[in-house]
Amino acid sequence: MKYHFITIEGNIGAGKTTLAHLLAKKLNARLILEEFADNPFLSKFYESPDQYAFPLELFFMAERYKQLKELLHTTDLFQSITVSDYLFTKCLLFAKVNLPAEEFRLYQKLFEIIHQQLLHPDILIYLHAPVHKLQENIKKRQRRYEQSIPDEYLLKIQETYLSYIREHNIRTIVIDAGNADFLGNEEHVNIILKALEEDHSEGQHYFTLP
């Protein structure tokens, strides 16, 4: 394996955590999962976004930083690969969508101080799925506070991710996940594993799941 720190990203409901579990198992990798359920502002944010966006994003950034700092600086002799179901820059991307301009500028200053202290992934796997697929997955997992997420919000998140990836020329495996069934179709996971065996240059590399 050429990549020792693999990060999976994508929109809400794209299948990040499911894929992270499966890849970690296949690669005997250490697994880092976002602990979103511990955020006390999450359900409140969906009810009143203007009021709770800033504390929501600050809490997420603090928790992600703490988690990555602890896990990525702990040596494990038996697991040389780490798979994470989030990119730390996710903090900035969601904040850009959720915060008004003045709050975002403050948040961005804090982010830049913290971000430089962390290890960056060797490669990013980005799961790209159409909004109707995301909504299907969101409904299936039945988290109460997610059930009324509008399509427009998901589109904004998607556009923000794609713009960031293009502008920063990150080494990215972009997966067309419109037909993704990671639990039911082992071939879909194997396609991604084969993609990880290649020596990718910086930029985007596209793969489709049949």
Contacts of 85 (CB under 8 A, 6+ apart): 7, 8, 16, 17, 19, 20, 32, 33, 34
Cβ 34 vs Cβ 86: under 8 Å:
yes
Q: What is the mean predicted confidence (pLDDT) over 101-130?
A: 95
Residue 31 zone, left/alpha/beta (φ > 0; ψ -120 to 50; rest): beta
| CA-closest candidate to residue 90, choices 166, 20, 11, 145 | 11
Q: What is the pLDDT of residue 76?
A: 67
Q: What is the mean predicted confidence (pLDDT) over 81-105?
A: 96
pLDDT at 90 over 80: yes
Task: Report the C-alpha gap between 118 and 112 in whole angstroms.
Answer: 11
Span of 41-45, 71-75, 105-109, 193-197 with lowest mean pLDDT: 71-75
Q: What is the pLDDT of residue 38?
A: 80
Q: What is the pLDDT of residue 72?
A: 66
Q: What is the pLDDT of residue 78?
A: 62
pLDDT at 205 over 70: yes
Q: What is the pLDDT of residue 70?
A: 82
Task: Report the C-alpha gap between 200 and 179 in whole angstroms.
Answer: 24
Task: Report the C-alpha gap between 175 and 70 in whole angstroms.
Answer: 29
The phi, psi pair for 183, rounded to 5°, reads -80, -30
pLDDT in tens, 33-83: 998 778 899 999 999 999 999 999 999 999 999 989 887 677 665 678 999
Q: Evaluate the CA torsion angle 101, 162, 112, 34 in order and state its sign.
A: positive
Domains annotated on the chain, with CATH: 5-208 (3.40.50.300)
Q: What is the mean predicted confidence (pLDDT) over 175-197?
A: 96
